[in-house]
Amino acid sequence: MKITVIGAGYVGLVSAVCFAELGNKVLCVEKSSSKLDELSRGMSPIQEPGLTEILDKNLEEGRIRFSDSIKEGVDFSKVIFICVGTPQSENGMADLSQVEEVSRQIAMHMGEYKLIIEKSTVPVKTHELIRRTIKRYAREDLEFDVASNPEFLREGFAVYDFMNPDRIVIGVESKRAVEIFQEIYQPFTENGNTLFVTKTSAAEIIKYASNSFLAIKISYINMLADLAEKVGVDVDMIAEGVGRDKRIGRDFLNAGIGYGGSCLPKDVNAFIHMAENYGLDFGLLKETEKINLNRRKQFLEKVEKLLWINRDKKIAVWGLAFKANTDDVRDAPSLGIVKGLLETGAQLCLYDPEAMENFKTIFSESKKLNYVEDKYDALHESEALLVLTEWDEFKEADLKRIKELMKLPIVVDGRNIFNRDKMESEGFEYHGMGR
Ligand code: UGA
């Protein structure tokens, strides 16, 4: 099939490259000339395992190309995926100006039937606004469908998730559109994965509802972590016991310093606002957000209680990315924690295997903050080690070496990656979250 993808951001690029890998001919439209230049040379602007390899391969085999022209994209295929950004605006709602602009452009260049698919995360009823925009700007006699096909990719596993979907959700209103989707996703349905076909508004809600549910699970376990700490039990045991109920599941019950990233915080907030627009007070999500933001504060209080006075004490920080296997620091808990530590006058030494460059754009090196290229180098003379991201290389670190390098062997584990008994038997003063 021929497929046009508009927007080479996270979702757009991964989808475009994966559609090409599935054997389609793909044209990906992107307005940033620097990004286009990189992409045409086979370089991916985002770090995702496997992405550069399949980008190179499909460029070479002529199945994918990039352009800055929406007109070219519209002429290329009857199937157009809109994957442009929907950032959070100042009032917490999704900013849909790029979606509107692209819809107008598509309408103005359309000469025959098109299936226009929103893949970006958009508030419920956005498809109606797209439809209205296209009707206004396109030739009157032209037929078209607008559908929703939300994406559920995790950063760090995006290619894997695209190629091995748990579910493919399609929000459509016409039989013709369903048939086109069946063709697009045939490689998956052949393997037994069925399309979940629903109303367009339902598909739009499913995306927000999924991310919000994950956020609720995390805030719930973090609340239980506080309770566990007060009672004197280990929250991991509670998570294990609760998670063995198949209806609940163990996933997303890891307590710690809370969720971050470019999706969960933004989507929870947007969902609250979306509900408000319909006169509903989504108190459950407001509490989820509140608990999440409080984690950073609580972590800082924990550190301050342990060190009494942070001023001029050397503190090592391991992990800056919002989660492991990514260089992304957007809305990462580390941002608030590092800011809070600097305000107390601590002397910080930071290390992350991937995210230091991105972190440096927000916190540049200074007298009170420096970055090191080796995690052990962060530990010299430190009076505490703070773990903020659950990287495997931290889990596998040499405990004896850590202890030797530190001035005081205090570890505050914001992600509960270490085994408490082991840490204590190695002579550490160990503090986890809810343990
Ligand atoms: C999330 C969803 O998991 C994807 O399904 C969705 O497609 C994506 O958002 C999106 O909307 O594009 P992602 O942002 O990559 O994916 O991150 P997650 O793996 O969901 O992790 C989010 C945050 O929760 C991280 O900070 C992580 O450390 C934290 N987390 C996760 C916990 O604190 N505890 C857990 O048990 C799990």
- Read off the pLDDT of residues 298-312 as tens digits, 9 standing for 90 and up: 999 999 999 999 999
Percent of the chain scored above 90 by pLDDT?
A: 93
**Is 83 annotated in the active site?**
no
Q: How far is the CA of 264 from the centre of ligand 1 (A)?
A: 6
Instruction: Copy the structure tokens of residue 305.
Output: 């209680």
Give me the pLDDT at residue 272, please.
95
Class of domain 2-163: alpha beta
Query: Which candidate in 28, 83, 263, 349 is catalytic?
Result: 263
Kindly indicate the confidence band of residue 258, based on its pLDDT and cuts at 50, 70 and 90. Answer: very high
Check whether 46 has a pLDDT greater than 90. Answer: no
Determine the atom of ligand 1 nearest the C-alpha atom of 121. 11
Task: Give pLDDT tens digits for 57-95.
Answer: 999 999 999 999 999 999 999 999 999 999 888 887 889
Pocket around ligand 1: residues whose beta carbon is below 6 Å from it? 121, 151-155, 211, 214, 218, 252-254, 256, 258-261, 263-264, 322-323
On whether the pTM is more than 0.85, the answer is yes
Q: Please give the number of the atom of ligand 1 that sits closest to the Cα of 390.
A: 28
Q: CA-CA distances (angstroms) from residue 356 to 55, 360, 426? A: 25, 6, 29
Q: What is the pLDDT of residue 91?
A: 82
Average pLDDT (281-288) is: 98
* pLDDT tier for residue 37 given thresholds of 50, 70 and 90: very high
Burial bucket for residue 53 (CB in 10 Å: 0-12, 13-18, 19+): middle
Measured on CA atoms in the order 349, 339, 224, 92, is the torsion positive or negative? negative
Phi, then psi, of 216 in degrees rounded to 5:
-60, -45
Summarised one tens digit per residue, pLDDT across range 180-196 is 999 999 999 887 878 99
252, 254, 256, 257: CA torsion to nearest 10: -10
Taking only the tens place, the pLDDT of each residue in 210-250 is 999 999 999 999 999 999 999 999 999 999 999 999 999 99
Q: How far is the CA of 409 from the centre of ligand 1 (A)?
A: 31
Instruction: Using the CB atoms, write b or e for 386-400: b if 16+ within 10 Å.
Output: bbbbbbeebeebebe
CB-CB neighbours of 34 under 10 Å: 9
Domain map of the chain by residue range?
Answer: 2-163, 213-431
Find the 366 Cα to ligand 1 centroid distance in Å. Answer: 31
Q: Which CATH number applies to 213-431?
A: 3.40.50.720
Q: What pLDDT is attached to residue 408?
A: 96
295 alpha carbon – ligand 1 mean position (Å): 16
Among the atoms of ligand 1, which is closest to the Cα of residue 155? 15
Q: d(Cα 212, Cα 220) in Å, to the nearest integer?
A: 12
Q: Which two tokens stand for residue 242?
A: 């609760």
